[in-house]
Amino acid sequence: MSTVASSELPKQYHHAEPERRWYQFWQQQGYFHSEPDPARKPYSIVIPPPNVTGALHLGHALNNTLQDILVRFKRMQGFNALWMPGTDHAGIATQAVVERRLLTEEKKSRHDLGRQQLVERIWAWKQEYEQRILGQLKRMGCSCDWQRTRFTLDETCARAVRHTFFRFFEEGLIYRGKRLVNWDTYLQTAVSDDEVFHETVAGHFWHLKYPVIDPQDGEPEFVTVATTRPETMLGDTAVAVHPDPAAALDAAEAELQKKLAAAGDKQRPEVQQQLADLQERRRTMLGPLEQLRDMALAGRKVLLPLLNREIPLVADVWAKPELGSGCVKVTPAHDPNDYDVGLRQQLPMINILNPDGTLNASAGPYAGLSMAKARDKVVADLETAGLLAAVEEREIELAHSDRSKTPIEPYLADQWFVKMEQLAQSAMDAVTDERVQIFPTRYARGYLDWLSEKRDWPISRQLWWGHRIPIWYAPDASEAELKKAFAGRDDVVWHRDEDHGGWLVCALEEDLDEQAVPGRRLVQDPDVLDTWFSSALWPHSTLGWPEQTPELAYYYPTSALVTSRDIITLWVARMVLMGLHNMHDVPFRQVFIHPKILDSYGEGMSKSKGNGVDPIDVMEKFGADALRFGLAYLTTETQDVRMPVDFECPHCNTLVEQTKKNRVLPRVTCKQCGKDFSTQWASKPDDVALPRGPVVSERFELARNFCNKLWNAARFVLLNLEGYAFAPIADADLAVEDRWILSRLSSVTSQVTAALEQYHFADAMRLAYEFAWDEFCSFYLEMVKNRLQDPAARPVAQQVLAHTLDNLLRLLHPAIPFITEEIWHLLAAAAPERGLARSERPAESVMKADWPQPETARQDSAIEARFAHFQDVLRGLREIRSRQNIPPKTPIRFALRTSDEIVELLRPMAAAIQSMANAEATAWGPDVEAPPTCARLALTAGEVLVDLAGLIDKDAEIARNEKERERLTGFVQGKRAKLANANFVDRAPAEVVQKERASLVEAEQKIAALEATLAALRA
């Protein structure tokens, strides 16, 4: 690698070129690749595979930054570190994106293309976005082992899926059954509960009257039921009433009484009103409801209007007497609750829908209509028949499919399920007994709660993009025929198809031929598996399972999983249970849940909202290191990260605030220059033609500035390394500032290490930042300048400088890999041999360097205390200079009044004080005389007295001293009151009391000094 002469280094760090160069270098050197090596300890992470639906945003950037920090950190610590990369096919999400595009651009549906062609289109899409995603990760500096890149739909993963399915099926953990599912009529597939969102829309509440068949004396002619979806009445198979209305009303009343007791003053009237309403209801409706209940028990029926079907009255607890009419229509095939009623009451289940959302033959005269049209017609027909009792306006929560954004219809369909009883329990145990640790620990609760429900997992999706279910139907074959056809094969198993008769045949790796059973036709199930089925296998499938590979033996269980909280249940829990089932061990030992990145409105970033930020934009402007450092710096334990973002106008570079309004526009007008620029939404040619306004956030300035500071510190070091030669340094040769910076370096090294081990990323960044900026740059570099001019002192100074920078680069490398590598090589050229007492050859790359070990022997509290006093004196002198408006170039003289002990500590710092504050000490000691005209400033332990002969601004000095006196007087009053409190003096620990007394005395002394100063100034 070529290096630039240090004198040619620019004053500002330019990130673009080094980022490209070093990433290429690392890849060429094969640094990211890991092979099993029993002699070394492994450290492994599998990436949460990004969906190939689209490009990555800042949330992904955070997720991957943290993983790369961990991997680079562990690699430097000597672990054989593997970061396994890959992407997720994201079944429904990807298919939906491609189908939507197909529709908008070509006005075609998937059925126009057919299964094979659509899948080809999706593969093309996948290629494009996978490239983009992997490119984004590389640009960020991610040190993934790219040779091992996997895709959840590739051959290796497919094999793992087949084996898992086969074993589950063999063990009876997978079954098929008719279940009410969330049906997406647009995509024509079932979607899981997790893929459904609710939206409040204006709707109606219709009250329908069903005639009672042959009402007897005293019996009502109608029962009234209410619904928000009147068209579903076509599938009604009963009307329910509560079996014990009195008891139910009692329970409801008891509930309200409880609520009343707990209610605050504000809610009380409302609860009282509810209670009164309930009591009124009991008075008027209990009788009628009991009568209906008796009719139900007697097997009486009502007539379903429009279809004129006789349906029974049933007694079921689902009908709540405290709500509505107390009666409820039961549509088992189209409502989850009614489905349960249907099972309990053994009611017929009538499916009135076609897969595309139109009504089928069961809807009689309404067949062929869409749900919406059917609704209008049903309502109109009921009204004509005089059976519409009332219509209310009402806001309703309507379920929508997350993927197609169309309303969900509950729909009865054949689906495949995984039995969760045992599997869930095993995953719960793994967390309970801490084989898997979750950080922060509070997230374990949600994980356990969700698993404890042990709800069976619906795994079939009526899609074309995904792992095809390896089941073949043999409806008319006999078991004898199967036995004969598959004799001697252990890769085929079959179970009876309980619902439909015939056989379900599962094949392990090879698909079955239609003619596999002579004379019988086998038909493969058209469905694919839920995308989480393959992601759940990720930690072991990527390592080669079911093959017993060396990788699997070496890297599994993986060390850590880094992910965000919204997929703890969907993904993390399922990986644990799959890992336990297939590998008999947990998939990872630790899980770190990181914050979410929110926009300035507190909303999560997502593509559909338009508030997603492309990390490339941020990197273009600030650099990959700044992106990474900035994100890690924000990764605290508790908080989500709020990130206000702006467009940067490509014409005039000013920032245009991103609002809810403009963030979804294809073009935005700059307020500053009035010109238009395009955004991520641009699709029309004249929009696309405009220069693009990248989306950035000022929040990365801190990190960008930090990188620049580090760069300039390095520049300073390099400019001063001329003539550098290594020679062993004895501790006695070290100057005070050397001992101080080495002491601090040791402390900071152990603190940063501990923070990273505990996933306290923000702490680690803050510690390194403050050490680099406030200690190394602001003090050490300033102090060492004098010695660099002194030929006798120069060599030791150079060596400590190079050594400290070397260690700092290593501490920072996991977070900011590019700039540290760039400087590392510049430093290697200038100082090829480093170290203090012993010579050390720098590694060929900082990536391969050892993680710094704290040299605890160098930690020196006396030196650190001395520096505290020194910094105190400097601060005092600078403050007086500023107050008095004395220009920095004007030298000042000062006396320091403090104890002999501190004088001894500070005397060696005189030269530093001279150079850093342009101030000369004229006298030191406990009894120094104050110059006749002087500014005084109290320190922690003493006082600086600046001779102001010819310089003084009396008024400013008086004002400042008065203000300080006022502050101290308040302080002293507080302390006196505290110490006069017998309770405090008696009960607080003696050392606390002692500390308070000392600080009181100190403050009183300071006040006395101020009084004297003021008197002198006024004289």
Q: Which residues 108-147 are close enough to bind RNA by CB under 7 A? A: none
- Is residue 883 involved in binding RNA (CB under 7 A)? yes
Residue 599 C-beta: closest distance to RNA, Å: 10
Torsion angle, alpha carbons of 257, 261, 266, 272, to 10: 20
Q: How far is CA 667 from the centre of its chain?
A: 30
* Contact map string, positions 828 to 867, toward RNA, x by CB under 7 A: ----------------------------------------
781 binds RNA (CB under 7 A): yes
Answer yes or no whether residue 476 interacts with RNA by CB under 7 A. Answer: no
CB of 984 to RNA, least distance (A): 4
Q: Should residue 967 be labelled a site residue for RNA when binding is judged by CB under 7 A?
A: yes
Give the shortest CB-89-to-RNA separation in angstroms: 21
Q: CA–CA separation, 915 vs 794, rounded Å? A: 17
Distance CA 235, CA 230 (A): 10
DSSP 605: P
Give the binding-site size for RNA (rule: CB under 7 A): 101
Q: Give the contact letters, 567-606, x = binds to RNA (CB under 7 A), - = no.
A: --x----------------------------x-x-xxx--
Q: Return the number of the residue (28 or 638) whose C-beta is nearest RNA.
A: 638
Q: Rule CB under 7 A: say whether 341 interacts with RNA.
A: no
204 binds RNA (CB under 7 A): no
CA 232 from centroid of its chain's CA atoms: 41
Among 77, 337, 354, 669, binds RNA (CB under 7 A): 337
Query: Is 349 in contact with 410 (CB distance < 8 Å)?
Result: no
HSE (side-chain half, CA atoms, 13 Å) at 319: 31
Smallest gap, in angstroms, from Cβ of residue 467 to RNA?
A: 23
Per-residue burial over 532-569, b = 16 or more CB atoms within 10 Å of its CB, e = otherwise? bbbbbbbbbbbbbbbeebebbebbbbbbbbbbbbebbb
End-to-end alpha carbon distance in the chain: 70
What radius of gyration, in Å, describes the C-alpha atoms of the chain?
38
Binding mask 625-644 for RNA (x = CB under 7 A): ---------x-xxxxxxx-x
CB closer to RNA out of 188 and 708: 708
The reply on whether position 381 binds RNA by CB under 7 A is no
The one-character DSSP state at 734 is -
Q: Is 378 helix (H, G, I), strand (E, B) or coil?
A: helix
The region of 79-87, 279-287, 429-437, 698-706 touching RNA under the rule CB under 7 A is 698-706
For RNA, which is the closer residue by CB, 312 or 475?
Answer: 312
Half-sphere exposure of 13 (CA within 13 A, CB side): 28
**Which C-beta is closer to RNA: that of 196 or that of 1016?**
196
As measured in angstroms, the least distance from the Cβ of 596 to RNA is: 7
Mask 730-749, x = binds RNA (CB under 7 A)? Answer: --------------------
Q: Residue 802 CB, nearest distance to RNA (Å)?
A: 15
Nearest to 816 by CA among 1015, 965, 629, 660: 629
Residue 992 makes contact with RNA by CB under 7 A: yes
Window 276-335: residues binding RNA (CB under 7 A)? 318-320, 322-324, 326-329, 335
Among residues 208 and 828, whose Cβ is nearest to RNA? 208
**Contacts of RNA in 208-237 (CB under 7 A):** 225-229
**Residue 446 binds to RNA (criterion: CB under 7 A):** yes
Q: Which is nearer to RNA, 803 or 975 (CB)?
A: 975
Residues 760-779 that bind RNA (CB under 7 A): 762, 766, 773, 777-778
Burial class (CB in 10 A: 0-12, 13-18, 19+), 146: middle
In the complex with RNA, which residue's Cβ is closer, 134 or 239?
239
Applying CB under 7 A, which of residues 659, 705, 899, 994 lies at the interface with RNA?
A: 705
* Among the residue ranges 82-90, 380-388, 850-858, 876-884, the one whose residues contact RNA (CB under 7 A): 876-884
- Contacts to RNA from residues 385-414, by CB under 7 A: 396-397
Asked if 336 is part of the footprint of RNA (rule: CB under 7 A), the reply reads yes
Report in angstroms the alpha-carbon separations of 368 from 164, 356, 358, 362, 365: 41, 10, 6, 10, 9
Query: Please, what is the Cα angle at 241 between 235 and 245, to 5 degrees?
Result: 160
**H/E element holding 394?**
strand 388-401
Helix 624-633 × helix 761-770 angle, to 10°: 110
Beta pairing class for 588-594 and 558-564: parallel
Decide if residue 704 touches RNA (CB under 7 A): yes
- The vertex-326 CA angle with 323 and 328, nearest 5°, equals 100
Closest listed residue to residue 737, CA positions, set 809, 797, 799, 811:
797
Contact between 908 and RNA per CB under 7 A: no
* Residue closer to RNA, measured from CB, 69 or 968: 968
Quote the least distance from Cβ 263 to RNA, whole Å: 8
Shortest CB 537 distance to RNA, Å: 22
Could you check whether the bond before residue 546 is cis, i.e. omega within 30 degrees of 0? yes
Q: Closest Cα to residue 779, out of 741, 820, 830, 731?
A: 741
Q: Give the number of residues written for the chain.
A: 1019
Residue number with CB closer to RNA (405 or 785):
785
Q: Does 417 bind RNA (CB under 7 A)?
A: no
Pick from 482, 972, 1010, 1017: which binds RNA (CB under 7 A)? 972
